Amino acid sequence: MKNDSKIQNDVMEELRWVPLLNSSAIGVAVKNGVVTLSGHVDCYSKKTLAENTARRVAGVRAIAEDIHVGISPADFRSDAEIAEDVLSALEWHAAVQDERIKIKVEDGNVRLEGEVEWEYERSNAKNAIEDIAGVRSVTNLISVRPRVTPSGIQQKINDAFRRSAAIDAEKITPEVVGGKVILRGTVRSFAERVDAEVAAWHAPGVTSVESKLELEVPQYSYDE
C-alpha cells in the first residue's frame, strides 16, 4: 500500500503528464489517501481536468479541491461578455438546441436551465462552455423531458437493439421507469453489454441506465 508521500509524488507526476495543465500552478497535499488540490487555473475545464487526473492515480481515496478559476485582472471579463460567449457557443454547437436553454451568469458562474429531449444535449451544453475564458463554474440544471411515452421509449430501444448486428435483441429486455432504463437479460460478451447500454442511452428522454445484464456461461460439449 502506498504511503501519502508516494501518492503525492505520483499525483504531481500525473499532473505534469497532462499538456493542458500548468502543474506548477497546482498544489498537491495528501493525508490518509485524501488528495487536496489547490492553486489557480484560467478556465473551469482545467479545474475538472486536474481533479480527474488526480483521481485516476492508484492509492487516491478521495479528492478535496480548492482550485480557483479566474484570469488575471488585466484580462478581466464582465458577466455580460461571458454571457455573450456562452450564447454564441451554444448557438454554434450542432448537438444543442440553444433556443430551449436559458443561461444566467453571476461573478463568472454560469447557470444553465431549460428542457431538452436527449441526455446528450444536456451534457453537450455544459461541455460547450467549459473552456470559455472567465467561466468559473457551470451548474447544469437542464432537465431531460421526452416527447414520447415510456412505452414509446421502450419501443425505440428495442428497435435499436434489433438494428444492431452486435446485440441479440431477443435476450435483452428494457424496462423504462420515468427517465430510467433498466436492462435485464443475458449477453454473450462484455462488449455486447456495453453496446446495449450505449444504445439505451441514445433513446430520447433517458436520464440514467441501470444494467442488470448477465454474461452467458458458454456451454461446452465433451465426447464420451
Contact criterion met (CB below 8 Å) for 195 and 181: no
Q: Which of 183, 185, 186, 176 is nearest to 206 (CA)?
A: 176
Whether residue 221 is contained in a domain is answered as no
Same domain, 125 and 177: no
Overall average pLDDT of the 34-56 stretch: 88
From CA 147, how far away is CA 214, in angstroms rounded?
31
Whether residue 224 is contained in a domain is answered as no
Q: What is the pLDDT of residues 59-106, one digit of tens each?
A: 888 998 888 877 656 567 889 999 999 999 888 887 777 788 999 999
Range of the domain at 162: 150-215
The grid cell for 6 is 508516494
Whether residue 11 is contained in a domain is answered as yes
CATH number for the domain harbouring residue 137: 3.30.1340
Which pLDDT score is estimated for 13?
92
Whether residue 58 is contained in a domain is answered as yes
Same domain, 130 and 172: no
Same domain, 93 and 126: yes
Provide the domain count of the chain: 3
The residue from 144, 172, 192 where one domain ends is 144
